[in-house]
Amino acid sequence: MHRESLVQAMERENYIPKLLELFHICEDLENTTGLHHLYNIFRTLFLINKAALLNIMFQEEHIVSVVGCLEYNPGKPQSVRHREYLAQVARHREVIPFNNPQLLNKIHQTYQVMYIQEVILPTPSLFEENMMSALNSFVMFNKADIINTIQDDGRFLRELFTMLQDEATPEEKYRELTHLLREICTFSQALEVGDRTQCFKILSDYGFMSAVEGMLAYEDKDVVGTAVDILMSIADFHCSILRDHILQDGESQSEDNQFMNLLINLLVDGEYTDLEVQVVGLIKIIIDPEAIMAESTAQTVEKSLFLNYFYKHCMHRLMAPLMAQTAGTKISRDSSQNSALLSHILDILSLCVARHTYLIRNYIIDKNALSRVLVLMTSSHAHLALAALRFCRKIVGLKDEFYNRYIVRDNLLAPIIKAFIANGRRYNLLNSAIIELFEYLRVENVKSLVSYVVENFWSTLEHIEYVDTFKALRLKHEQEMDRRDNKDSAPAVPGILHGGGEVMTRYRRDPRQMGEDEEAWFDEEEEEVTAIYTDPFTSSPTPPLHSLPVPTSSTSPPSTTSTTSTTSTSSSPHSPPTIRLDATLTSIPPSSTSSSSPSKPIPAPSPFTQVSYSPRPPAALNRAPQSESSSIKTPIVTQALKSLVDYDEDSDEEEKSEDQVESPAKRKKLDDT
């Protein structure tokens, strides 16, 4: 609130024009103290960060005086003559005349404001950085106004691109035209995304890309550098424009004159070494699929078309210096300039490995490119050897079995191990990078490469003891071999091996079915019960129930002659009964016995008589006597079988009844009956 009131008061009282009048008085009187105070006042006016004050200070009649106030910095012993530089040195030349005076004045104003921002005012501190936003906005709005005015001036654009594509244009004039085009592209970054796209479309209609392509082929370092700057300003925001032009150019131009190959030639020819870093960055942006700004469907189509074009028409040119200098076991030209070029090529190839998947994989395997790259490990320049190692590490890090089999087949880790041994015990970057590669193989357990290293190079690496990486690598290999041996010696059982060691089948077993252990236990019980129900007099199994005579009288059923044979062969009273669906109920046959032998009644038929099952243990035979009116009949099963748990509970109750029958009182009562 106080800042707003202050700004309104200064506007109302014409405070800034009065300060500028005072500046001229102090300067005429050489009042250094007053000039220093005025410097601090105007610097503070910029920090107030209000557009209203900036509009007053940057008026055409005031801006030169404001620059004069900022010449007298108290921190400097002498004043800097900024006004003299702007008036005499920084001359404004109209390469193509403007017919719009307002546009020309805005261009001059923008240049002066940018000079104040970038040269005169000190670099803002961390706390002052956000206090200059109004000044930044002023510059951005001016740039946007300039570009909008230029793109609407068809005469100006037509004349500009006609002269750029005319071979008769003088060299000096051509150079100035390229600088003008670079400024237009730089100013266009102040536009919004949609407006910027529309601006480049308008420029393309006048032959923008053809003009830039001619600049790349121009035999002048300054012009080529300007063309690279223009392409970088486009690639950062509109890479799809470059890709579209490259694809169209590939259909109409010969391979030598294609736009992408012109860029690659700038790199591999080595003529413009100071532009190599910019050219490498530009190529990486163009071939990076993630750099495109388009919809997902268009992105997929463009990526496929462009990458196929790149590997068909451009990749061999990029790889030509590398292939030519690595034909033998050592690099042919190990100069510093050549090593820098090869490092740039490996940088681009590393991006291809990370982004292009199967296309670069097929190229590397077909051309044996990794073997050629690892020849660079013999270079005397450490940065080139590290670049080759970094490229190999990028491939290994993918954990792609196609790459792994290729490495094992061609013995491609041998140059790395040879360089590691040649480096000795020197603790340098190359030593650490190679150890990190093998440590990665151990930690990630890349089985094929671990086995390959241990089986082929252990005799070379076993004496290295200052790190445990190689011993741990061999241990990992031995563990894997033991696991394979155990797997081969184990019987082949289909299923899944669980933590408990039990191999479970892949299908889900019905919980109502009995397991193998349960069936074996029930079969054993069946054999015991069959032995118990064998007739002691005939030594043969008792015939089934349906073959026995059924009494018709109401008298009690006859009892067995002896309990000795029964009790002597009875099973454990706690053994659960066995139900089998393939057996029939058997019973003790009636036989004539002596009156002196105690008798046991035949139990009444089970309600499960019609369902075939194995006989119960002998304890279940000693039931309470049936009533006189009862007779042995085959009842009808009226309900489904109970579960094994319920059946076991019934068996326990029957065992208790057996104990009661075995008591003397119960026995006497039965005899009396």
For every residue of 182-223, which 3-state class applies, written as one string? HHHHHHHHHCCHHHHHHHHHHHHHCCHHHHHHHHHCCCCHHH
Q: pLDDT tens digits for 14-39?
A: 999 999 999 999 999 999 999 999 99
| One domain for residues 140 and 222 | no
Q: pLDDT tens digits for 161-219?
A: 999 999 899 999 999 999 999 999 999 999 998 888 899 899 999 999 999 999 998 98
CB neighbours of residue 189 within 10 Å? 14
Domain boundary among 486, 508, 541: 486
**Residue 253: its pLDDT value, please?**
78
367 domain-assigned: yes
| One domain for residues 234 and 109 | no
417 domain-assigned: yes
Grade residue 517 by pLDDT with cuts at 50, 70 and 90.
Answer: low
Grade residue 525 by pLDDT with cuts at 50, 70 and 90.
Answer: low
550 domain-assigned: no
530 domain-assigned: no
Rounded to an integer, the average pLDDT of 239-246 is 87
**Residue 668: its pLDDT value, please?**
62
Domain boundary among 92, 123, 144: 144
Rounded to an integer, the average pLDDT of 493-508 is 47
Q: pLDDT tens digits for 405-436?
A: 999 999 999 999 999 999 988 899 999 999 99
| One domain for residues 87 and 228 | no
| One domain for residues 262 and 363 | yes
**Residue 326: its pLDDT value, please?**
93
User: Does pLDDT of 590 surpass 80?
Assistant: no
- Distance from C-alpha of 609 to C-alpha of 235, rounded to nearest angstrom: 91
**Residue 506: its pLDDT value, please?**
46
User: Does pLDDT of 502 surpass 50?
Assistant: no
Rounded to an integer, the average pLDDT of 336-355 is 94
Rounded to an integer, the average pLDDT of 608-621 is 43
Residue corresponding to tokens 């001619």: 214
590 domain-assigned: no
* 571 in Cβ contact with 528 (< 8 Å): yes
**Residue 650: its pLDDT value, please?**
44
| One domain for residues 134 and 230 | no
Q: Residue 280: which CATH number?
A: 1.25.10.10
Q: How many domains does the chain have?
A: 3
Domain boundary among 119, 144, 169: 144
* 41 in Cβ contact with 19 (< 8 Å): yes
| One domain for residues 113 and 233 | no
Position with higher pLDDT, 673 vs 13: 13
Position with higher pLDDT, 133 vs 592: 133
Position with higher pLDDT, 540 vs 137: 137
Position with higher pLDDT, 540 vs 413: 413
- The boundaries of the domain holding residue 631 are 577-585+600-673
| One domain for residues 343 and 441 | yes
- Distance from C-alpha of 599 to C-alpha of 128, rounded to nearest angstrom: 115
Q: Which of 395-399, 501-505, 523-527, 541-545 has the highest mean pLDDT?
A: 395-399
| One domain for residues 17 and 101 | yes
Rounded to an integer, the average pLDDT of 111-138 is 84
One-letter amino acid for residue 454 of the chain: V
Catalogue the E-assigned strands of 350-452.
none
Rounded to an integer, the average pLDDT of 304-322 is 93
**Residue 610: its pLDDT value, please?**
43
User: Does pLDDT of 587 surpass 90?
Assistant: no
DSSP structural state of residue 603: P
| One domain for residues 247 and 127 | no
523 domain-assigned: no
DSSP 517-558: HHHHHHHHHHHHHHHHTB-TTT-SBPPBGGGSPPP-SSSPPP
Secondary-structure breakdown of the chain: helix, strand, coil percentages, each rounded to the nearest 5: 65, 0, 35
| One domain for residues 402 and 275 | yes
**Residue 578: its pLDDT value, please?**
44
| One domain for residues 138 and 228 | no
DSSP structural state of residue 496: E
DSSP 296-342: HHHHHHHHHHHHHHHHHHTHHHHHHHHHHH-SSSS-S---HHHHHHH
pTM of structure: 0.68
Burial class of 118 by CB neighbour count within 10 A (0 to 12, 13 to 18, 19+): exposed
**Residue 1: its pLDDT value, please?**
53
Nearest residue to 585 via CA among 558, 614, 557: 614
**Residue 219: its pLDDT value, please?**
87
Grade residue 553 by pLDDT with cuts at 50, 70 and 90.
Answer: very low
| One domain for residues 360 and 224 | yes
157 domain-assigned: no
Q: pLDDT tens digits for 473-491?
A: 999 999 989 888 887 665 5
User: How large a percentage of the chain has pLDDT more than 90?
Assistant: 51
In the structure encoding, which two tokens stand for residue 572, read together?
């454990």
Position with higher pLDDT, 572 vs 263: 263
162 domain-assigned: no
